[in-house]
Protein backbone atom coordinates (compact mmCIF):
# COMPACT_ATOMS: atom_id res chain seq x y z
CA UNK A 1 0.00 0.00 0.00
CA UNK A 2 1.14 3.54 -0.71
CA UNK A 3 0.80 4.45 2.98
CA UNK A 4 3.85 2.31 3.70
CA UNK A 5 6.09 4.37 1.41
CA UNK A 6 7.45 6.61 4.12
CA UNK A 7 9.78 9.49 3.31
CA UNK A 8 12.12 10.66 6.06
CA UNK A 9 13.47 14.10 5.34
CA UNK A 10 17.27 14.11 5.58
CA UNK A 11 19.06 16.83 7.56
CA UNK A 12 15.70 18.47 8.26
CA UNK A 13 16.57 20.77 11.15
CA UNK A 14 20.13 21.33 9.95
CA UNK A 15 18.96 22.58 6.54
CA UNK A 16 16.36 25.00 7.92
CA UNK A 17 18.84 26.30 10.50
CA UNK A 18 21.42 26.83 7.74
CA UNK A 19 18.94 29.00 5.81
CA UNK A 20 18.94 31.46 8.74
CA UNK A 21 15.25 32.17 8.36
CA UNK A 22 13.99 35.74 8.16
CA UNK A 23 10.30 35.39 9.12
CA UNK A 24 9.28 38.00 6.55
CA UNK A 25 11.48 36.61 3.75
CA UNK A 26 10.72 34.77 0.52
CA UNK A 27 12.24 31.29 0.32
CA UNK A 28 12.49 28.70 -2.45
CA UNK A 29 12.31 24.95 -1.90
CA UNK A 30 13.66 23.90 -5.28
CA UNK A 31 12.86 20.20 -4.75
CA UNK A 32 9.63 19.84 -2.74
CA UNK A 33 9.64 16.02 -2.61
CA UNK A 34 7.22 15.15 0.17
CA UNK A 35 7.44 18.54 1.81
CA UNK A 36 9.39 17.89 5.00
CA UNK A 37 11.66 20.89 4.59
CA UNK A 38 8.82 23.08 3.29
CA UNK A 39 6.54 22.42 6.24
CA UNK A 40 9.22 23.18 8.82
CA UNK A 41 10.24 26.31 6.91
CA UNK A 42 6.62 27.53 6.75
CA UNK A 43 6.32 27.12 10.51
CA UNK A 44 9.07 29.73 10.93
CA UNK A 45 7.61 32.36 8.59
CA UNK A 46 5.43 35.28 9.61
CA UNK A 47 2.21 36.25 7.85
CA UNK A 48 4.36 38.30 5.49
CA UNK A 49 6.75 35.49 4.57
CA UNK A 50 6.45 33.37 1.44
CA UNK A 51 7.61 29.99 0.21
CA UNK A 52 7.73 28.90 -3.43
CA UNK A 53 8.39 25.24 -4.20
CA UNK A 54 9.28 23.38 -7.39
CA UNK A 55 8.87 19.72 -8.31
CA UNK A 56 8.50 17.65 -11.49
CA UNK A 57 6.85 14.66 -9.82
CA UNK A 58 3.05 14.48 -9.99
CA UNK A 59 2.87 12.69 -6.64
CA UNK A 60 4.90 15.48 -5.06
CA UNK A 61 2.56 18.05 -6.61
CA UNK A 62 -0.42 16.19 -5.15
CA UNK A 63 1.22 16.21 -1.72
CA UNK A 64 2.00 19.93 -2.02
CA UNK A 65 -1.64 20.68 -2.80
CA UNK A 66 -2.61 19.40 0.66
CA UNK A 67 -0.84 22.43 2.17
CA UNK A 68 -3.62 24.99 2.56
CA UNK A 69 -1.46 28.01 3.32
CA UNK A 70 -1.69 31.29 1.39
CA UNK A 71 2.03 31.86 1.95
CA UNK A 72 2.87 28.71 -0.04
CA UNK A 73 2.82 27.99 -3.78
CA UNK A 74 4.00 25.01 -5.84
CA UNK A 75 5.20 24.93 -9.45
CA UNK A 76 4.99 21.74 -11.52
CA UNK A 77 8.38 22.11 -13.16
CA UNK A 78 12.00 21.21 -12.56
CA UNK A 79 14.28 23.48 -10.60
CA UNK A 80 16.16 24.34 -13.77
CA UNK A 81 13.37 26.95 -14.09
CA UNK A 82 14.49 28.65 -10.89
CA UNK A 83 15.84 31.48 -13.02
CA UNK A 84 12.28 32.46 -13.95
CA UNK A 85 11.89 33.93 -10.47
CA UNK A 86 12.55 37.68 -10.12
CA UNK A 87 16.16 38.71 -9.57
CA UNK A 88 17.26 39.11 -5.95
CA UNK A 89 13.82 37.98 -4.75
CA UNK A 90 14.82 35.13 -2.43
CA UNK A 91 16.26 35.17 1.07
CA UNK A 92 17.20 31.53 0.68
CA UNK A 93 17.24 28.62 -1.77
CA UNK A 94 17.13 24.98 -0.64
CA UNK A 95 17.92 22.06 -2.96
CA UNK A 96 17.42 18.53 -1.61
CA UNK A 97 18.68 16.40 -4.51
CA UNK A 98 18.16 12.77 -5.47
CA UNK A 99 15.15 10.47 -5.28
CA UNK A 100 12.61 10.34 -2.47
CA UNK A 101 11.82 7.11 -0.65
CA UNK A 102 8.25 6.90 -2.05
CA UNK A 103 9.69 7.09 -5.56
CA UNK A 104 12.17 4.31 -4.83
CA UNK A 105 9.73 2.12 -2.92
CA UNK A 106 6.85 2.33 -5.41
CA UNK A 107 7.49 -0.47 -7.98
CA UNK A 108 5.37 1.33 -10.57
CA UNK A 109 7.94 4.13 -10.81
CA UNK A 110 10.70 1.76 -11.93
CA UNK A 111 13.51 3.32 -9.89
CA UNK A 112 14.49 0.24 -7.89
CA UNK A 113 16.02 -3.10 -8.78
CA UNK A 114 14.66 -4.59 -5.54
CA UNK A 115 11.10 -5.05 -6.86
CA UNK A 116 9.70 -5.67 -10.31
CA UNK A 117 8.00 -2.85 -12.15
CA UNK A 118 7.98 -1.03 -15.47
CA UNK A 119 11.41 0.25 -16.46
CA UNK A 120 10.49 3.94 -16.33
CA UNK A 121 12.56 6.09 -13.89
CA UNK A 122 11.16 9.43 -15.09
CA UNK A 123 10.69 12.02 -12.34
CA UNK A 124 7.95 13.62 -14.45
CA UNK A 125 5.85 10.87 -15.99
CA UNK A 126 3.91 13.36 -18.12
CA UNK A 127 6.80 14.00 -20.50
CA UNK A 128 10.04 12.60 -21.81
CA UNK A 129 11.29 9.11 -22.62
CA UNK A 130 11.30 6.19 -20.20
CA UNK A 131 14.46 4.13 -19.68
CA UNK A 132 12.77 1.18 -21.42
CA UNK A 133 12.03 3.26 -24.51
CA UNK A 134 15.55 4.71 -24.58
CA UNK A 135 17.17 1.28 -24.23
CA UNK A 136 15.22 -0.01 -27.23
CA UNK A 137 17.40 1.89 -29.68
CA UNK A 138 20.45 3.14 -27.73
CA UNK A 139 23.77 2.02 -29.19
CA UNK A 140 26.25 -0.06 -27.23
CA UNK A 141 28.67 2.88 -27.21
CA UNK A 142 26.07 5.32 -25.87
CA UNK A 143 24.87 2.92 -23.17
CA UNK A 144 28.43 2.25 -22.06
CA UNK A 145 29.21 5.97 -21.92
CA UNK A 146 26.12 6.68 -19.79
CA UNK A 147 26.82 3.80 -17.40
CA UNK A 148 30.46 4.80 -17.08
CA UNK A 149 29.90 8.54 -16.68
CA UNK A 150 26.82 8.62 -14.46
CA UNK A 151 27.26 5.33 -12.61
CA UNK A 152 31.07 5.33 -12.32
CA UNK A 153 30.79 1.66 -13.27
CA UNK A 154 34.01 -0.07 -14.34
CA UNK A 155 32.07 -2.85 -16.09
CA UNK A 156 30.15 -0.38 -18.27
CA UNK A 157 31.25 -1.95 -21.55
CA UNK A 158 30.32 -5.47 -20.50
CA UNK A 159 26.91 -4.33 -19.25
CA UNK A 160 26.14 -2.45 -22.47
CA UNK A 161 27.05 -5.47 -24.56
CA UNK A 162 24.94 -7.73 -22.34
CA UNK A 163 21.92 -5.42 -22.77
CA UNK A 164 22.40 -5.50 -26.54
CA UNK A 165 22.65 -9.29 -26.53
CA UNK A 166 19.45 -9.50 -24.52
CA UNK A 167 17.69 -7.22 -27.02
CA UNK A 168 18.82 -9.34 -29.95
CA UNK A 169 17.83 -12.63 -28.35
CA UNK A 170 14.62 -11.81 -26.46
CA UNK A 171 13.52 -8.33 -27.44
CA UNK A 172 13.56 -5.01 -25.57
CA UNK A 173 13.92 -4.78 -21.80
CA UNK A 174 10.65 -3.69 -20.21
CA UNK A 175 10.94 -4.29 -16.46
CA UNK A 176 13.34 -3.47 -13.65
CA UNK A 177 13.78 -7.17 -12.90
CA UNK A 178 14.88 -7.86 -16.48
CA UNK A 179 17.49 -5.10 -16.36
CA UNK A 180 18.77 -6.19 -12.94
CA UNK A 181 19.12 -9.78 -14.20
CA UNK A 182 21.13 -8.69 -17.25
CA UNK A 183 23.44 -6.52 -15.15
CA UNK A 184 23.98 -9.25 -12.57
CA UNK A 185 25.05 -11.60 -15.36
CA UNK A 186 27.57 -9.08 -16.68
CA UNK A 187 29.06 -7.87 -13.38
CA UNK A 188 31.12 -10.67 -11.89
CA UNK A 189 32.39 -8.85 -8.79
CA UNK A 190 30.89 -6.14 -6.64
CA UNK A 191 31.59 -4.32 -3.37
CA UNK A 192 30.33 -6.23 -0.31
CA UNK A 193 26.72 -5.43 0.46
CA UNK A 194 26.06 -3.63 -2.85
CA UNK A 195 23.79 -5.06 -5.53
CA UNK A 196 25.48 -5.41 -8.95
CA UNK A 197 22.74 -3.26 -10.52
CA UNK A 198 23.17 -0.29 -8.17
CA UNK A 199 25.46 1.80 -10.36
CA UNK A 200 23.64 1.03 -13.62
CA UNK A 201 20.25 2.00 -12.21
CA UNK A 202 21.75 5.21 -10.85
CA UNK A 203 23.30 5.99 -14.22
CA UNK A 204 20.12 5.46 -16.22
CA UNK A 205 18.03 7.48 -13.73
CA UNK A 206 20.44 10.43 -13.80
CA UNK A 207 20.66 10.33 -17.58
CA UNK A 208 16.96 9.98 -18.37
CA UNK A 209 16.12 12.90 -16.06
CA UNK A 210 19.15 15.03 -17.07
CA UNK A 211 19.76 15.46 -13.35
CA UNK A 212 23.30 16.81 -13.44
CA UNK A 213 22.59 19.24 -16.27
CA UNK A 214 19.53 20.52 -14.42
CA UNK A 215 21.54 20.90 -11.21
CA UNK A 216 24.14 23.04 -12.98
CA UNK A 217 21.42 25.29 -14.43
CA UNK A 218 19.70 25.62 -11.04
CA UNK A 219 22.94 26.53 -9.27
CA UNK A 220 23.65 29.22 -11.84
CA UNK A 221 20.08 30.53 -11.45
CA UNK A 222 20.46 30.69 -7.67
CA UNK A 223 23.03 33.46 -8.08
CA UNK A 224 20.38 35.53 -9.86
CA UNK A 225 17.49 34.98 -7.47
CA UNK A 226 19.33 35.21 -4.13
CA UNK A 227 19.42 38.53 -2.32
CA UNK A 228 22.70 39.76 -0.80
CA UNK A 229 23.07 37.77 2.41
CA UNK A 230 20.70 35.07 1.12
CA UNK A 231 21.67 31.47 1.79
CA UNK A 232 22.10 28.59 -0.66
CA UNK A 233 21.70 25.15 0.97
CA UNK A 234 22.23 22.01 -1.13
CA UNK A 235 21.90 18.41 0.05
CA UNK A 236 23.42 15.82 -2.30
CA UNK A 237 23.49 12.04 -2.11
CA UNK A 238 26.28 10.87 -4.39
CA UNK A 239 29.72 12.04 -5.43
CA UNK A 240 28.70 13.30 -8.88
CA UNK A 241 26.19 15.76 -7.41
CA UNK A 242 28.40 16.79 -4.52
CA UNK A 243 31.37 17.42 -6.82
CA UNK A 244 29.29 19.81 -8.94
CA UNK A 245 28.01 21.68 -5.87
CA UNK A 246 31.46 21.84 -4.26
CA UNK A 247 33.10 23.17 -7.43
CA UNK A 248 30.29 25.68 -8.01
CA UNK A 249 30.58 27.15 -4.52
CA UNK A 250 34.38 27.15 -4.65
CA UNK A 251 34.41 28.77 -8.07
CA UNK A 252 32.25 31.67 -6.89
CA UNK A 253 33.89 32.02 -3.47
CA UNK A 254 37.11 33.63 -4.60
CA UNK A 255 38.11 36.86 -6.28
CA UNK A 256 38.86 36.43 -9.98
CA UNK A 257 41.74 38.36 -11.51
CA UNK A 258 41.99 39.16 -15.21
CA UNK A 259 45.50 38.06 -16.19
CA UNK A 260 45.34 40.31 -19.24
CA UNK A 261 44.83 43.34 -16.97
CA UNK A 262 46.86 42.64 -13.83
CA UNK A 263 46.22 46.08 -12.29
CA UNK A 264 42.47 46.01 -12.80
CA UNK A 265 40.10 45.54 -9.88
CA UNK A 266 39.40 41.81 -9.42
CA UNK A 267 35.93 40.46 -10.03
CA UNK A 268 34.33 40.27 -6.59
CA UNK A 269 33.32 36.83 -5.31
CA UNK A 270 29.60 36.11 -5.46
CA UNK A 271 29.39 33.50 -2.68
CA UNK A 272 30.91 32.94 0.72
CA UNK A 273 31.35 29.24 1.47
CA UNK A 274 30.01 28.29 4.90
CA UNK A 275 31.12 24.68 5.06
CA UNK A 276 29.44 21.29 4.90
CA UNK A 277 27.44 19.06 7.22
CA UNK A 278 26.77 15.32 7.25
CA UNK A 279 23.99 13.41 9.05
CA UNK A 280 24.60 12.45 12.65
CA UNK A 281 25.16 8.84 13.66
CA UNK A 282 21.71 8.92 15.23
CA UNK A 283 20.06 10.03 11.98
CA UNK A 284 21.91 7.40 9.95
CA UNK A 285 20.88 4.69 12.43
CA UNK A 286 17.23 5.69 11.95
CA UNK A 287 17.47 6.18 8.19
CA UNK A 288 20.20 4.32 6.33
CA UNK A 289 19.41 6.21 3.12
CA UNK A 290 20.80 9.35 4.77
CA UNK A 291 24.31 7.91 5.17
CA UNK A 292 25.64 9.31 1.89
CA UNK A 293 24.13 12.79 2.29
CA UNK A 294 26.31 15.91 2.27
CA UNK A 295 24.91 19.38 2.88
CA UNK A 296 26.86 22.39 1.60
CA UNK A 297 25.99 25.97 2.50
CA UNK A 298 26.98 29.29 0.96
CA UNK A 299 25.91 32.91 1.31
CA UNK A 300 25.31 35.41 -1.51
CA UNK A 301 27.73 38.30 -1.19
CA UNK A 302 26.70 40.73 -3.93
CA UNK A 303 24.42 41.08 -6.92
CA UNK A 304 25.90 41.94 -10.29
CA UNK A 305 24.54 44.88 -12.22
Per-residue confidence of the chain (305 residues) as pLDDT tens digits?
344 456 689 999 999 999 999 999 999 999 999 899 999 999 999 999 999 999 999 999 999 999 999 999 999 999 999 999 999 999 999 999 977 777 777 887 878 888 899 999 999 999 999 999 999 999 999 999 999 999 999 999 999 999 999 999 999 999 999 999 999 999 977 777 788 999 999 999 999 999 999 999 999 999 999 999 999 999 999 999 999 999 999 999 976 544 555 555 556 789 999 999 999 999 999 988 889 999 999 999 975 44
53 with 62: CB under 8 angstroms? no
Gap between the Cα atoms of 186 and 199, Å rounded: 13
At 262 the pLDDT is: 59
pLDDT in tens, 276-298: 999 999 999 998 888 999 999 99
In the predicted model, what is the mean pLDDT of the chain? 91
CA dihedral 213, 214, 215, 220 (to 10 degrees): 100
At 4 the pLDDT is: 47
pLDDT in tens, 105-151: 788 787 888 889 999 999 999 999 999 999 999 999 999 999 999 99
Gap between the Cα atoms of 231 and 18, Å rounded: 8
Gap between the Cα atoms of 52 and 38, Å rounded: 9
Q: 252 phi and psi, to 5 degrees?
A: -105, 10
CA angle, corner 42, sides to 39 and 44, nearest 5? 120
Domains of the chain, each with CATH number or no CATH: 2-102+211-300 (3.40.50.150), 125-208 (1.10.150.170)
What are the C-alpha distances in Å from 181 to residues 119, 166, 243? 13, 10, 31
DSSP type of residue 266: P
pTM, to two decimals: 0.90
Q: Helix, strand or coil for residue 28? A: strand
Q: Helix, strand or coil for residue 93? A: strand
At 268 the pLDDT is: 73
At 188 the pLDDT is: 78
Q: Helix, strand or coil for residue 293? A: coil
Amino acid sequence: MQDTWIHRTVLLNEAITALRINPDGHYIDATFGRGGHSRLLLSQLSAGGRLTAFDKDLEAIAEAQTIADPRFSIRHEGFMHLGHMPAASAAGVLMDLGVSSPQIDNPLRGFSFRSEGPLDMRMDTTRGQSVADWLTDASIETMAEVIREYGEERFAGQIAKAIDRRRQERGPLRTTAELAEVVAGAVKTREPGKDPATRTFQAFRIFINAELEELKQALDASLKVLQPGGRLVVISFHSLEDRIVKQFIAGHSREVFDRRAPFATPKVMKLKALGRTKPSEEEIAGNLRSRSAVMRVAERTEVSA
